[in-house]
Amino acid sequence: MAGTTPFAEIRARAERRKGGAEALARLLPRPLDPASVAALGDDHILAEMTRRVFCAGFVWSVIEAKWAGFEAAFLGFDPVELSFQPDDFWEALTGDARIVRNGQKIMSVRANAHFVRDVSSDHGGFGRFLAEWPADDQFGLLEYLARNGSRLGGATGQYLLRFLGRDGYTTSGDVVLALRDAGLDIAPNPTSKRDRLKIQAQFNAWAAETGLPYMQLSRICAMSIGENFSPERLMAMGHGNEGE
């Protein structure tokens, strides 16, 4: 886009910070190919929705430590089976020590079970629905998830796509800082539709410029600015590292 920094300059800065091109390349995530996204099971997708919803605003390590309990309590996240559970099943979960007993988030699983089941029925699988959504319209996909799912708006939707392996960018603090530093006219907390469309357009332009997946563009942005973690620490941190 006119007026913004060429991505080659952002990448060069990230390479200098991480010890060179090869060191940076080792830190870049790789998205699943569309066929692999399409093959994702509905139970896997509902499980990841649930994990992202419960991790939002909470210590992720606590959720991970209790995850076996989540799997058992939510019947392996089979969306069809969960869709037919009566009210007392869901009420009982609010007192189930195997999971984090947050009533609103528990009920989001019920709503999202219906959501996944219905989308899967219409598209031959929720994974197929995700795979067929245009890669250059993450804005539209996130809007759809927020509007039709439960508690899937904002960063939760972005991290859902990231952890499922579907290609996409995030708008974490460091990514936004890199976008603003590159000259994109967006707010420090870009939640407006105007700003989010600008971010989509910028990532589309950089994808066309570089041929890189959005996931890698986003990670390079994050590693080009802000706190400079060592490559060793980043490898240990895994997903969501370097402010991304």
Residue 4 burial by CB count (10 A; 0-12/13-18/19+): exposed, middle or buried? middle
Handedness of CA 224, 228, 234, 240 (dihedral sign): negative
Nearest to 233 by CA among 8, 66, 54, 18: 18
Give residue 242's pLDDT: 46
Q: How confident is the model at residue 21 (pLDDT cuts 50, 70, 90)?
A: very high
Look at residue 128 and tell me whether its pLDDT is greater than 80: yes
Give residue 165's pLDDT: 98
Alpha carbons 132 and 35: distance in angstroms, whole number: 10
- pLDDT tens-digit profile of 70-106? 999 999 999 999 999 999 999 999 999 999 999 999 9
- Which two structure tokens, joined as six digits, stand for 47? 């499980």
Give residue 236's pLDDT: 66
- Identify whether the C-beta of residue 225 lies closer than 8 Å to the C-beta of residue 177: yes
Alpha carbons 45 and 163: distance in angstroms, whole number: 10
Q: Is the pLDDT higher at 2 or at 220?
A: 220
Alpha carbons 2 and 8: distance in angstroms, whole number: 15
The 10 Å CB-count burial string (b at 16+, else e) for 40-49 is bebbebbbbb
Alpha carbons 3 and 203: distance in angstroms, whole number: 14
Look at residue 228 and tell me whether its pLDDT is greater than 90: no
**What's the mean pLDDT in 216-224?**
97
Mean pLDDT of the chain: 95
- Which two structure tokens, joined as six digits, stand for 138? 């993450």
**What's the mean pLDDT in 229-241?**
64
Give residue 2's pLDDT: 59
- Identify whether the C-beta of residue 135 lies closer than 8 Å to the C-beta of residue 211: no
- Identify whether the C-beta of residue 224 lies closer than 8 Å to the C-beta of residue 177: no
- Identify whether the C-beta of residue 176 lies closer than 8 Å to the C-beta of residue 190: yes
